[in-house]
Amino acid sequence: MNTKRSMIKLTIPTDPTDWHGGAMEHVWATPLGGDLYVLENSPGSAYGLSYQDIVVAHPEDGLLLFRRVHARQGHSTYRIRLAKETTIQDFLRHWQAIQALGCTFEGEFGGRGYIVDIPPATDAHAAYALMMESEDRGIWIFEEAHYGGPDR
Mean pLDDT of 77-106: 95
Which structural domains are found in the chain, ordered by start?
8-71 (no CATH), 76-146 (3.30.70.100)
Taking the C-alpha atoms of residue 13 and residue 65, their distance in angstroms, rounded to an integer, is: 8
> Please, which residues bridge with residue 77 across strands?
117, 146
On whether the CB atoms of residues 24 and 11 are closer than 8 A, the answer is yes
2 pLDDT more than 90 = no
Taking the C-alpha atoms of residue 8 and residue 87, their distance in angstroms, rounded to an integer, is: 34
pLDDT tens readout for residues 9-42: 999 998 877 777 677 899 999 999 999 999 999 9
- pLDDT the model gives residue 52: 98
- pLDDT the model gives residue 149: 86
